[in-house]
Structure 1
């Protein structure tokens, strides 16, 4: 009886449990199904992405790329993280001593190759306890410039600025002009031990003549005071002549009064560079042949046969004016941006430069900024006009080199020294891959393309970092050639956190 009376209650209890269980299962099923739809039901399939070319351009094509990049990210200087120039000698530095041993130098190359070479020879003269004679400049390079040292540099300032480090004289004493000299090609990228060994030459000679000055000192593993001496020579002592400094500053002021801020573009799309590198992409057959003949007839260019395609794919070619335009546009710079062209004559002239002007009409050159009368003293002196380009590039809001040559490295290093001013170093190898995909139709210009370019270059804008050492896997002296140049990045020796050691 009791059991029969309890059965209806049990049935009602069981029904409630079934109801709760059913409700719970339904809730779980609905939740799982919602997650499934969220993850898979609304996500586009991979095939759809590949087929939908418009996704590469993004739907908002009317919105310009530069609106998506902050003004600070376009123009602001890189964060220096409390770093400052520090080039004062340490307490261990040896002052200049009077010496009757002399070093004469013939500096080779263009302006910036000579500048860094001269700075090296200042340090070498200090190491070897020698008097340095004002160097002779290269008059046989591509530019055929007859300028002397005092035409380009402030000679007196050079001598007096370094008087505590090295004794420097304008000319070899007359009584020593006719005596035999030791003529040396000092080994490239040599350390202090090498030059201490070379000092044995003083036993037999009073004068050593150095035939080449470029890359005579190692980039790394030198005493701190030698490294700082190189910086004092380059950034303090090798000031340009008053006439060059004066006009350079005027042109910078005119640029700033015209547009407020500007990009200095070292557009190394010049005949000598294209011929030397064997880069003929986008050129006519006649132009390619002209460059080949020039390379064949230039004796000191050792490599004669070059595969242009391999050069370009490897990232060894300067960007073309068209490629530079796409690059700057993709970084987010607006069409109204003022761009100063720091270079010699562009190969192909205005026709080729128009491929850049179509995107950035405000292209400015020395000839547009200065009057014919102002430029007249510098006519036919490539090194002097290159010095004007150097000044304008150093003072620019942004510096962009289209190829990593001597000027590009020197300007980047100087801008790092002055507070890590924004310097955008294009990843030419990576960019060529993107440009080729544009050409084949695999990619299209737009926000997605710009994103790829911006991501590729977010760590290539002159932010503080220590100098790169040699590439891995290379042994012997060959590894020294792969090191980053000391003058391209003088950190940490000449850039430090101390505010007093300047």
Structure 2
């Protein structure tokens, strides 16, 4: 039930009348009687279905609107056009940047967007990036398998010159292999260009992730990052076509939640989170962590990790959380994730509360998924599309996928995105386990209050944590791609 407030008529007409004959007490009684009558009428006018939801499913009337409704966009919309100061590119530039884009899908997407901006700052031509084939997923997909190459080049033609490969004359030319500084400013790259272009025509970048600062960059560079991520990096036709079909099939069932359930073997092993697992499973995760060379932390205190909110929520915890927020058991939930660790053993706890769980392989046919079977990055692109277009997005852990989807949903109108307060929730879950707290009205009130400002509503990007300096300070800043406001999202002029 939407509440519309008209400020010009918000006061009852009788309040403007002069009633000298009434005493103050009588006046107060009259006002109380009027308020009671108004409340009674409003309750009578409430649809029956709504009243059931309010009193059996949710702790408040307001929450029911919050569960789904973010269609108003809060008076904000994307604004990525360059300013008047933004000049044309120098097409005569004979300097090139080659890139090996590392990580999974969303780490690569953010890194590529950074490299486009870096190429602009350094007045260089960008060669279509090579994708990481040595990550955990061991995916052999090329740039063209995941992204629309022609669209990428054409979309950026006024920003950066992009070519599919180096000119033949430069294939054997010496290259400056350069690891760019993390979270670097525009001035860093401007100075770098002055020195490197004197000796080299080609710079090779082995890593593309987190190469640009989140803040304090020229406004046009920030807007360029958004144009790249949200427009130029369009998925390839097979991914786009199937992704749209799957979104349509989900919407035919009604509203749906996209749940990024990071209860996967690699995530549990990496974070050292073992709550609720048996000894054999804990040992399995430990062996994986010890045998993965690029994971620096080997010995991790699982209990401490969980208490600090550094663990993904378990499927059971997600079920308790969504129920406490007020979502009915009949809601459709799309699981945007890889293989869930432990399979139905742990997933069953979530399915018990929410039977309508959907996965790619239950939403798409076997034939439709054949081309994606051995390409985890392309399959992740389908999850990304479905998550961005969902009615509600809920990540069980804050990773690259969660940040990217949240940022995109903010960009498209601050679509409902619920970020669980994992640290606060763990404290509640422990009280449930100890018998201090029961599932019911009290839990619903606590969870609702805890998350009233974690629903993806408009806000400026968070800065760094206080008391930190240097790289540690930059590391704690909220990612630009998680919340591109205010540079790429503007308040509508005609909004209230």
TM range (shorter): 0.7 to 0.9
2:137 corresponds to 1:143: yes
1:432 corresponds in structure 2 to 426
TM-score by length of 2: 0.87
Secondary structure (helix, strand or coil) at the match of 2:404 reads: helix
2:5 corresponds in structure 1 to none
Contact 1:399-1:424 within 8 A present in 2 as well: yes
In the TM superposition, residue 82 of structure 1 has moved relative to its aligned partner by 1.6
2:210 corresponds in structure 1 to 215
1:97 corresponds in structure 2 to 90
1:226 corresponds in structure 2 to 221
Cα displacement string for residues 268-301 of structure 1 (whole angstroms, at most 9, x for unaligned residues): 0001100110001011111111111111111111
Secondary structure (helix, strand or coil) at the match of 1:172 reads: coil
1:87 corresponds in structure 2 to 80
In the TM superposition, residue 498 of structure 1 has moved relative to its aligned partner by 4.6
Secondary structure (helix, strand or coil) at the match of 1:226 reads: helix
2:6 corresponds in structure 1 to none
For structure 1, which runs of at least 5 residues remain unmatched after alignment?
Answer: 1-59
In the TM superposition, residue 209 of structure 1 has moved relative to its aligned partner by 0.2
Contact 2:58-2:444 within 8 A present in 1 as well: no
Contact 1:470-1:479 within 8 A present in 2 as well: yes
1:74 corresponds in structure 2 to 67
Structure 1 Cα separation of the partners of residues 443 and 64 of structure 2:
20
In the TM superposition, residue 65 of structure 1 has moved relative to its aligned partner by 2.8
1:236 corresponds in structure 2 to 231
Cα displacement string for residues 110-150 of structure 1 (whole angstroms, at most 9, x for unaligned residues): 00000000000000000000000000001011110000000
Structure 1 Cα separation of the partners of residues 252 and 154 of structure 2:
35
Structure 2 Cα separation of the partners of residues 276 and 448 of structure 1:
35
In the TM superposition, residue 476 of structure 1 has moved relative to its aligned partner by 1.9
1:400 corresponds in structure 2 to 394
2:244 corresponds in structure 1 to 249
Stretch deviating more after TM superposition (462-471 or 490-499): 490-499
Cα displacement string for residues 191-233 of structure 1 (whole angstroms, at most 9, x for unaligned residues): 0010001102010001000010000000000000000000000
Match of 1:336 among 325, 330, 353: 330
Contact 1:83-1:419 within 8 A present in 2 as well: yes
Contact 1:78-1:462 within 8 A present in 2 as well: no
Pairing 1:354-365 to 2, within 5 Å after superposition: 354-365=348-359
Contact 1:78-1:421 within 8 A present in 2 as well: yes
Contact 1:96-1:166 within 8 A present in 2 as well: yes
Pairing 1:119-130 to 2, within 5 Å after superposition: 119-130=113-124
Contact 2:419-2:454 within 8 A present in 1 as well: yes
Contact 1:415-1:421 within 8 A present in 2 as well: yes
Contact 2:74-2:414 within 8 A present in 1 as well: no
Structure 2 Cα separation of the partners of residues 338 and 95 of structure 1:
48
TM-score by length of 1: 0.86
2:199 corresponds in structure 1 to 204
In the TM superposition, residue 477 of structure 1 has moved relative to its aligned partner by 2.3
2:284 corresponds in structure 1 to 290
In the TM superposition, residue 179 of structure 1 has moved relative to its aligned partner by 1.2
Structure 2 Cα separation of the partners of residues 399 and 63 of structure 1:
24
Contact 1:65-1:447 within 8 A present in 2 as well: no
In the TM superposition, residue 71 of structure 1 has moved relative to its aligned partner by 3.5
Structure 1 Cα separation of the partners of residues 213 and 467 of structure 2:
19
1:184 corresponds in structure 2 to 178
1:422 corresponds in structure 2 to 416
2:57 corresponds in structure 1 to 65
Contact 2:78-2:488 within 8 A present in 1 as well: yes
2:155 corresponds in structure 1 to 161
In the TM superposition, residue 499 of structure 1 has moved relative to its aligned partner by 6.3
In the TM superposition, residue 305 of structure 1 has moved relative to its aligned partner by 0.9
In the TM superposition, residue 81 of structure 1 has moved relative to its aligned partner by 3.1
Cα displacement string for residues 439-468 of structure 1 (whole angstroms, at most 9, x for unaligned residues): 011111110011000000000000000000
In the TM superposition, residue 240 of structure 1 has moved relative to its aligned partner by 0.3
Structure 1 Cα separation of the partners of residues 350 and 56 of structure 2:
18
2:298 corresponds in structure 1 to 304
Structure 2 Cα separation of the partners of residues 67 and 287 of structure 1:
38
Secondary structure (helix, strand or coil) at the match of 2:75 reads: coil
Stretch deviating more after TM superposition (449-458 or 169-178): 169-178
Contact 2:98-2:204 within 8 A present in 1 as well: yes
Secondary structure (helix, strand or coil) at the match of 2:334 reads: strand
CA RMSD of the aligned region, Å?
A: 1.5
1:10 corresponds in structure 2 to none
1:456 corresponds in structure 2 to 450
Structure 1 Cα separation of the partners of residues 148 and 493 of structure 2:
28
Query: Higher relative contact order at CA 8 Å, sep ≥6: structure 1 or structure 2?
Result: 1
In the TM superposition, residue 175 of structure 1 has moved relative to its aligned partner by 1.5
In the TM superposition, residue 387 of structure 1 has moved relative to its aligned partner by 0.2
Secondary structure (helix, strand or coil) at the match of 2:353 reads: coil
1:486 corresponds in structure 2 to 480
1:391 corresponds in structure 2 to 385
Contact 2:96-2:202 within 8 A present in 1 as well: yes
In the TM superposition, residue 426 of structure 1 has moved relative to its aligned partner by 0.2
